[in-house]
């Protein structure tokens, strides 16, 4: 069931388009991530949904009701800002109770709801502590508790984890996701971090220059990006300009030919195309008896060792490849050693080249 729908939503600032004719349906009870680089329009789109910005044209509807011109305080949505916007002079309990006070909820009902939420965010012992004395992760939890205190129909998160250190950020990704699933609340989260989106989202909306570039499940977008922009933004990838030399053959920048699945060949754009192959799909071998058409000779130029995994940069004739492996798979890998890189035909995706618009 779809509760939130956007139709031809556009936002102009003078002559510049921050959001450009966006159509979107957000399914009920799911966590959807707006993902894209800075300036792509994702936060502006979130603010339009929240009622903090009015679209220049188009409509925003929720559960069949047109909200396009309904004020933010009448939409019954909860929002967590990037800055969290907690009140430093209030305690944890007072911050959480604030939206209930605005709605003139009875004091005993407020107290019961605050106690319930403190248990939910695992901070029952901190009700009377000033928020200024909380850690970053604790403040994050309080901000979410305040946003859901009045049981909103939709939860909006604007890059809420950007100020946290890497380890805490990853822990909070899991906490927010589990909380959202437990509550079953429809949630939209803005992020520029593709790993965060892949970890948390049921569905990702990739945005580029105010428009939606692709919508889909995280793994679908990772494995089947529709364009060079999406492929480059979602995860690591080898993206190479190629020529279409036959029904199942493409030419690489160094002049070599490789075979791709015919179905992938025909699904590629007819004009300017790129080859995408993910690093984990590139196989490395120190020696091969019969190279075959999809095995390329090269030399290891750089190794990025992060302990549990390795990323090797391989210099081939006319281009470089990145291959992902593990110390167990390639225990003797060294910079400067000759190597053979295999590009399996089924892993070679043809995608539309990036276009300017």
Secondary structure (DSSP) of 167-190 = HHHHHHHHHHHHHHHHHT-EEEEE
Task: Report d(CA 238, CA 342) in Å as an integer.
Answer: 13
| Residue 21 falls inside a structural domain | yes
pLDDT in single tens digits along all 357 residues of the chain: 558 999 999 999 988 999 999 999 999 999 999 999 999 999 999 999 999 999 999 999 998 899 999 999 889 899 988 888 888 889 999 999 998 988 898 999 999 999 999 988 888 999 999 998 888 888 888 998 999 998 899 999 998 888 778 888 888 888 889 889 988 999 999 999 999 999 999 999 999 999 999 999 999 999 999 899 999 999 889 999 999 888 788 999 988 899 988 655 544 455 688 999 999 999 998 877 777 789 999 999 999 988 888 999 999 988 999 999 988 888 888 999 999 999 999 999 998 887 755
| Residue 110 falls inside a structural domain | yes
Residues 211 and 259 in one domain: no
pTM to 2 decimals? 0.88
Q: Find where tokens 């290891």 sit.
A: 300
Domain that holds residue 264: 237-352
Number of domains in the chain: 2
What is the torsion angle, in degrees rounded to the nearest 10, for the CA atoms of residue 288, residue 293, residue 299 and residue 300?
A: -90
285-318 per-residue burial string, b: 16 or more CB within 10 A, e: under 16: eeeeeeeeebbbebebeeeeeeeeebbbbbebee
Domain of 318: which CATH number?
A: 2.40.50.100
Residues 67 and 212 in one domain: yes
**What residue spans of the chain are helical by DSSP H?**
42-50, 92-102, 107-120, 136-148, 166-183, 194-200, 218-223, 228-233, 262-267
Residues 164 and 51 in one domain: yes
Residue 111: CB atoms within 10 A of its CB come to 15
Burial-class residue 214 by CB neighbours within 10 Å (0-12, 13-18, 19+): buried
| Residue 216 falls inside a structural domain | yes
Domain of 78: which CATH number?
A: 3.40.50.300
**Residues near 187 by beta carbon (within 8 Å), at least 6 away in sequence:** 30, 31, 32, 154, 155, 156, 157, 180
| Residue 357 falls inside a structural domain | no
Residues 129 and 213 in one domain: yes
Residues 150 and 271 in one domain: no
pLDDT score, position 266: 44
Query: What tokens does 40 get?
Result: 């792509």
């Amino acid at each position: 069931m779809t509760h939130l729908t956007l139709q031809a939503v556009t936002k102009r600032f003078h002559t510049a388009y921050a959001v450009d004719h966006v159509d979107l349906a957000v399914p009920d009870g799911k966590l959807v991530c707006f993902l894209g680089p800075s300036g792509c329009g994702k936060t502006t789109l979130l603010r339009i949904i929240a009622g903090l910005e009015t679209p220049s044209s188009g409509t925003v509807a929720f559960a069949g009701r047109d909200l396009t011109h309904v004020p933010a305080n009448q939409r019954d949505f909860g929002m967590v800002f990037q800055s969290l916007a907690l009140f430093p002079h209030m305690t944890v309990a007072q911050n959480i109770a604030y939206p209930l006070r605005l709605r003139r909820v009875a004091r005993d009902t407020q107290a019961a709801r605050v106690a319930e939420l403190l248990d939910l965010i695992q901070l029952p012992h901190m009700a009377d502590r000033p928020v200024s004395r909380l850690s970053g992760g604790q403040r994050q939890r309080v901000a979410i508790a305040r946003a859901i205190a009045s049981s909103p129909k939709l939860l909006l998160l604007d890059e809420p984890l950007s100020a946290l250190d890497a380890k805490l950020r990853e822990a909070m990704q899991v906490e927010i996701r589990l909380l959202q699933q437990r509550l079953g609340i429809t949630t939209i989260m803005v992020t520029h971090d593709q790993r965060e989106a892949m970890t948390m989202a049921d569905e990702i909306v990739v945005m580029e220059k105010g428009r939606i570039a692709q919508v889909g499940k995280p793994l679908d977008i990772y494995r089947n990006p529709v364009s060079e922009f999406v492929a480059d933004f979602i995860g690591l990838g080898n993206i190479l300009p190629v020529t279409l030399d036959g029904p199942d053959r493409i030419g690489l920048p160094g002049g070599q030919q490789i075979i791709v699945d015919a179905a992938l060949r025909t699904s590629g754009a007819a004009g300017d195309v790129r080859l995408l192959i993910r690093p984990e799909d590139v196989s490395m071998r120190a020696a091969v008896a019969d190279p075959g058409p999809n095995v390329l000779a090269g030399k290891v130029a750089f190794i990025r060792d992060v302990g549990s995994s390795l990323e090797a940069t391989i210099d081939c004739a006319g281009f470089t490849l990145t291959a992902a492996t593990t110390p167990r798979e390639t225990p003797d890998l060294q910079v400067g050693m000759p190597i053979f890189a295999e590009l399996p035909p089924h892993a070679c995706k043809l995608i539309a080249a990036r276009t300017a618009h």
